[in-house]
Structure 1
Amino acid sequence: MANEHSLDPVIDFLTGRFSQLAPQTVAETVYATHAQLKEKATITTHMASLTQRKAAETLAQMLPAEHTHQV
């Protein structure tokens, strides 16, 4: 993957935010999300922030019910 290091801050942030999940799970989710977005993207500007947002949504769904915020 080109420029994988640009995802390091995303992984670090999400690992802290989703500390209930294994760091490897967070990293794999970020890389998979990035690959999916990149495959469909016509413009790659802001790809890291888009990856962070989408990966956070995916990771939130992995949390047990007691860790999710209910409205």
Structure 2
Amino acid sequence: MKKLLLATRNRDKVGEIRKLLRGLDLAILTVDDFPGAPEVAEDGQTLEENAVKKARTLHEFSGLPTIA
């Protein structure tokens, strides 16, 4: 089973994404599954900049495919 990291702690977002991906051979992990995961400051100019920053940072930390 492949793993996918969701770069969020928002339970509602996690629930929505899990519903969308249900039935796929994916283990959906979140930041909460990685106690040492870095906090990422959302200091970008746009939502997209913040999402890219979070996804890249947590991918580098975990080595897993990551979306934010």
> Shorter-chain TM-score category?
0.3 to 0.5
TM-score by length of 1: 0.32
TM-score by length of 2: 0.33
User: Relative contact order (alpha carbons < 8 A, sep ≥ 6): 1 or 2 greater?
Assistant: 2
Q: Say which structure is richer in helix.
A: 1
Query: Which structure: greater strand fraction?
Result: 2
